A and B are shown apart, each in its own frame.
Chain A
């Protein structure tokens, strides 16, 4: 089985494995996610429902992460380029799991480095933890006293695809290619109830 087919299987895995009314390209509504409130990169309150009408891509990370997070953002900037005019209806949410270091200003400066229509989100640890739980994500603060990093943050790398009504419909693994994410976003834009 080639990698592309494997990823597609993964993406539609929940569908294949028996969500009710699942047929053809109809995307299942996943039993995770939901509305939440956090603070955006300008320090203003943010609520997911404010993005109704847009496909929303969500991932969890932290800006001191030198590898996985910039890689995902670089990939997403290619996705936006390839989407052309459809890109106007796609928003990306970068939720920090390191609020101690990731203030709104830090997030804003970091995201400004990438051509992605994104909103950086942070907040009180309890509020972030609630969103993490809502989306079935996971993170762990790992102290590294021997390193100048002081601590690193292990975190899940799944990219969540939400439809225009804010419902989680699709999951992308870390290795999903630009073309796979573009195809997924197009399906999300076309997806109805």
Chain B
């Protein structure tokens, strides 16, 4: 009887410890994680390329990426590709009054919703790497660092592919 209550108390203490320590452990791990990071192998004549990945925010606070840097490129920026409508249509072409127009523009930040994801993928948000400092091939790796609005930094390791 006495032994049983001792084991119960031990279980309680263990559960309590888990509840108290789990958030501390999680935050130590990382509030924002990175998955599926890859960069496109640029054409042999080019040293600029784009990088893609998925960011997951494990906290209840919305966060955003406010800067990106890499020692492997001259300059690193956040960009977004958007499909918009053309201004003019095609003369005499019913159904083609408006065409899809691809627009590329730098963005100041990338928002990651609370307990949500931000997806950087072809056709949308991406990291632009200008002036890669060395020639790269499929399978090579590149490291960039993301800075969040809460002051923390996140390392990203991407693999080059075509």
Which A residues fall within an 8 A CB radius of B? Answer: 10, 13-14, 16-18, 30-32, 63-68, 70-71, 74, 105-106, 109-110, 112-113, 136-138, 140, 142, 144, 146-149, 152-158, 171, 173-174
Contact = CB atoms under 8 A, between A and B. Distances in A.
A13 B77 contact: no
Contacts, number: 125
A174 B83 contact: yes
B155 to A, nearest CB: 22
B77 A65 contact: no
A80 B86 CA distance: 29
10 contacts: A16-B95, A63-B43, A66-B126, A66-B128, A109-B46, A146-B106, A148-B130, A152-B105, A157-B83, A158-B100
A18 B92 CA distance: 11
A109 B46 CA distance: 9
B100 A173 contact: yes
Contacts of A70: 40
A149 B130 contact: yes
A63 B75 CA distance: 19
Interface residues on B, range: 35 or more
Contacts of B104: 65-67, 142, 149, 152-154
Contacts of A106: 45
